[in-house]
Amino acid sequence: MPGLPSLLGALGGVGVGFALISFVIAVASAETGSRADLSWVGANLVIGIVLLVTAAAMNVDALRERMSSGEARRAGKYGTSAVLSTVLGIALLGMLGFLSTRYHHRFDWSEQKVYTLSDQSQKVLEGLDQDVAVTALVSAVDQAPVRELLDRYAYESPRFHVEYADPNEKPGVLKTLKVEPQKLGEHGLVHVALGGESVEVSQVDEEHITNAMVKLTRTGEKIVYFVQGHGEDAIEGEDAAGREGFARAADALRNENYRVAPLLLAQVKDVPDDADVVIVAGGKSRFFDEELAVLDRYLARGGALFAMVDPRLGGSWVDKLRGWGADLGDDMVIDRALALFGRAATPFAGKYDPENPITKDFRDARSDAVVFHEARSVRAKNGSALTPIVFTGEASWAERDLGRLDSEGAASMDSDDLAGPVPVMVAGTPTLATPDGAAAKARLVVVGDTNFASNEFIDAGRNRDLFLNAANWLIGDVAAIAVRPNQTRASRFQLTKEQFQTIRSTALFLLPEVIAVLGVFTWWSRRNPADARGR
């Protein structure tokens, strides 16, 4: 077969070429390589050389004749052109590689953008007016995930400077930074310093790194008071850790560098002057008139109040909120279409007010879900300065026949009910008169549910963001309003070492070479159709 030497020569070239490529890959990935890699390299090299020698031996006369003819010169000309083109291509790739080290751009194609800094982190970095010195006191073994996270910050801001130090190799750095060795823990810590102050972060993730910068950049202490004494959800003690407790909500405020304290209205003449916001989370017993007068005076002097009111709660407290412009319905929101696990009394928020600072960064229920549980409608009274900012879904309604709902557990949309989307949260700046006749603008947020910020639900969806954004807005800390870091829940598939080696070898070595061999056979059969048919 006259064309057989060309087939053997091409196959030999594939064998030698893949032997060299496989050797480079095996050396570059020495940590994951194996003896099988070297065996594959050796087998390819031997078979390739044998095929090349065989092809040359079968075609000695033709090669001698070709070298003595003009065809050799033409082959040399075209061969030289091919070599120069290859060298030029390699040079261009090298130039692109060089430029990529000087100019680069990050891409995040994950669905939840978990490899992109959150809106909150980016706002903190944009607001830096001095450099942040970050030292990662992490061993070389644990540095990879820490480096990946901190590099995101350094990419976003030139004021974020990172240094990596293995405390085992450089124990002196602990003394320099005044870090006690026992604080390092199993995986080390990150030391964040700014303007002479520093914070040590032992749990290295975006939330804690950003919170550390917030604590260092935020000047002055803001105080949040939680009203107690009427059966409100607890922020401290044993009850605070329960499902309905507010321990996590209080911790979330502390992470924003706010101080949290309880407030017994019956024991004070007025809300303390240092109060930046007062939160009333629930409440089952009635308020005394004197206590309501304390809140009246507080708002009349320009205070900020965050009221969370569950269904079935009435009395003077609800009447007071209605007097301030928040029309709380005697109902419960039902949604069979957009609800948590189909539980109609646990609806998701369906839409948000894109103009209000509290909800402007929220998009829709699919991407920024807020979960409510047993919520009541809250509308803004005509003429009030309040505005609805959170609504449930289109198919929801506010069920007003609570007697039937309690006794039979049944609900249906009737003409007396409030059709969806149902507003469940209002916010605004009502102007309230002081006793001496002066007028002052207060800040007020009213939501028809307490559970959304309880321990059970605050970490669901964007509940934490909605709670904190409302507190930020009430305090006047608008720059802190943001969508906070996504919590990564990575899906993992555990492979054994043998399974990994099999997949790796198949993907890097076997399949590419099989494709190359099939390509050679296709080329040869088209060039020598008679030989391919066995003639």
Residues 331 and 374 in one domain: yes
- pLDDT attached to residue 221: 76
User: CA–CA separation, 100 vs 255, rounded Å?
Assistant: 38
Could you list the pLDDT tens digit for every one of the 535 residues in the chain?
456 777 777 788 788 887 878 777 776 665 445 566 777 778 888 888 888 788 777 776 666 666 566 555 665 565 567 667 777 877 777 677 666 666 666 666 665 566 788 777 888 888 888 899 999 998 888 888 888 889 888 888 899 999 998 888 888 888 888 888 877 877 788 999 988 888 888 888 888 888 888 878 776 678 999 999 998 988 988 889 999 999 999 999 998 889 999 999 989 989 999 999 999 998 888 899 999 999 999 998 889 999 999 999 989 999 999 999 999 999 999 999 888 888 899 999 989 999 999 998 887 766 678 999 999 999 999 989 999 999 999 999 999 999 888 888 888 888 889 998 999 999 999 988 766 665 678 999 999 999 999 999 999 889 999 999 999 999 887 666 655 665 544 444 445 556 667 787 787 778 888 887 888 778 778 777 665 555 4
In DSSP terms, 275 is beta-bridged to 223
Residues 204 and 224 in one domain: no
User: CA–CA separation, 453 vs 308, rounded Å?
Assistant: 9
Q: Please report, for the domain that includes residue 188, its CATH number.
A: 3.40.30.10
**Cβ atoms of 452 and 373 closer than 8 Å:** yes
Domain boundary among 184, 209, 234: 209
**Cβ atoms of 138 and 110 closer than 8 Å:** no
**Could you tell me whether strands 349-352 and 386-392 are parallel, antiparallel, or unpaired per DSSP bridges?**
antiparallel
**185: alpha, beta or left? (left if phi > 0; alpha if psi -120 to 50):** left
- The first and second tokens of residue 387, run together, are 């505005």
User: CA–CA separation, 495 vs 124, rounded Å?
Assistant: 39
Judge whether 501 lies within some domain: yes
Q: CA triplet 15, 17, 21: central angle to 5 degrees?
A: 115
- pLDDT attached to residue 351: 92
- pLDDT attached to residue 215: 78
Burial class (CB in 10 A: 0-12, 13-18, 19+), 176: exposed
Residues 386 and 276 in one domain: yes
Domain boundary among 209, 226, 247: 209
Judge whether 488 lies within some domain: no
Q: Which residues contact residue 427 at a Cβ distance below 8 angstroms, ignoring those fewer than 6 apart?
A: 356, 358, 386, 387, 389, 443, 444, 445, 446, 470, 473
Domain boundary among 160, 192, 209: 209
**220: alpha, beta or left? (left if phi > 0; alpha if psi -120 to 50):** left
Q: How many domains does the chain have?
A: 3
Judge whether 246 lies within some domain: yes
Residues 409 and 263 in one domain: yes
Q: Please report, for the domain that includes residue 432, its CATH number.
A: 3.40.50.880
- pLDDT attached to residue 70: 59
Judge whether 114 lies within some domain: no
Residues 290 and 422 in one domain: yes
Residues 510 and 390 in one domain: no
**Cβ atoms of 117 and 156 closer than 8 Å:** yes
Judge whether 485 lies within some domain: no
Judge whether 71 lies within some domain: yes
Residues 177 and 322 in one domain: no
**Cβ atoms of 411 and 334 closer than 8 Å:** yes
Judge whether 489 lies within some domain: no
Which residue bears the tokens 């935020």?
218
**Could you tell me whether strands 189-194 and 132-137 are parallel, antiparallel, or unpaired per DSSP bridges?**
antiparallel
- pLDDT attached to residue 488: 47
- pLDDT attached to residue 32: 45
Domain around 470: 218-480
Residues 50 and 28 in one domain: yes
- 3-state SS of 49-102 is HHHHHHHHHHCHHHHHHHHCCHHHHHHHHHHHHHHHHHHHHHHHHHHHHHHHHH
**Cβ atoms of 422 and 392 closer than 8 Å:** yes
Residues 137 and 233 in one domain: no
Residues 504 and 452 in one domain: no
Residues 244 and 381 in one domain: yes
Which residue bears the tokens 């390299």?
41
Judge whether 109 lies within some domain: no
Residues 232 and 170 in one domain: no
